[in-house]
């Protein structure tokens, strides 16, 4: 009989009853971890759950007993789901440029349109932070170079960049998804 005390040894011995025990007792946790990452892709989440169960079965010998089993299994679920999400994002078709609703009729070239978009994006920042964002994100200057030119420590500039990014996200809530990080 498989119990909480012996399921790991039995799983490592490839006892199928131990795998059933894992599914019954930890399946909900694994499913929750996967669905939290693959919420927009339910078919992939279900397939990922099966893959995770198989990984637990195949790699049970690598569980060394340090830390909780559920943490080990949840980590497998998390990284499997993240890897699957990367593949999904890579395979998603890019938007057809003709389908994009961009107003080129205003006479702006693509570069001018992008310039105006960037200017609009950083418009919520104070003048010093705008200048910093232009140096780093528009002109491609490194943080080290900007710190040298401005005579400020890199850590101060990183703080300004971090706060500026948060301001941009708050000022443009419809532009970024929750999981996007800029």
Nearest to 88 by CA among 41, 32, 49, 145: 41
What is the SS3 string spanning 59-94? CHHHCCCCCCHHHHHHHHHHHHHHHHHHHHHHHCCC
Residue 96 is classified by DSSP as P
Give the pLDDT of residue 13: 93
Give the pLDDT of residue 91: 77
CB count within 10 Å of CB 154 equals 13
In Å, what is the CA distance from 166 to each residue of 131, 154, 161, 171, 173? 17, 19, 9, 9, 11
Give the pLDDT of residue 27: 93
Q: Which domains does the chain have, with CATH numbers?
A: 7-91 (1.10.1740.10), 104-171 (1.10.10.10)
0.85 exceeded by pTM: no
Give the pLDDT of residue 112: 63
Residue 111 has pLDDT above 80, yes or no: no
Mean pLDDT of the 68-77 span: 91
Give the pLDDT of residue 103: 45
Q: Which secondary structure element, helix H or strand E, spans residue 15, and what is its range?
A: none
pLDDT tens digits for range 86-105: 888 887 665 444 444 444 44
Phi, psi of 18 (to 5 degrees): -70, -35
């Amino acid at each position: 009989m498989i119990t909480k005390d012996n399921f790991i040894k039995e799983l490592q011995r490839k006892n199928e009853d131990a795998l059933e025990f894992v599914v019954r007792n930890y399946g909900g946790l694994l499913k929750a971890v996967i669905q939290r990452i693959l919420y927009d892709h339910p078919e992939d989440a279900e397939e990922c759950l099966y893959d995770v169960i198989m990984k637990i079965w195949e790699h049970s010998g690598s569980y060394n007993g340090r830390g909780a089993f559920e943490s080990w299994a949840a980590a497998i679920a998390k990284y499997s789901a993240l890897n699957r999400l990367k593949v999904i994002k890579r395979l998603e078709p890019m938007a057809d440029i003709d389908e994009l609703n961009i107003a080129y009729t205003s006479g702006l070239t693509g570069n001018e349109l992008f310039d105006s978009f960037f200017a609009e994006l950083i418009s919520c920042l104070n003048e010093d932070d705008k200048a910093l964002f232009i140096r780093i994100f528009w002109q491609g200057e490194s943080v080290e170079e900007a710190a040298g030119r401005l005579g400020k420590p890199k850590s101060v500039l990183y703080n300004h960049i971090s706060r500026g990014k948060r301001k941009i996200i708050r000022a443009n809530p419809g532009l970024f998804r929750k999981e996007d990080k800029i």
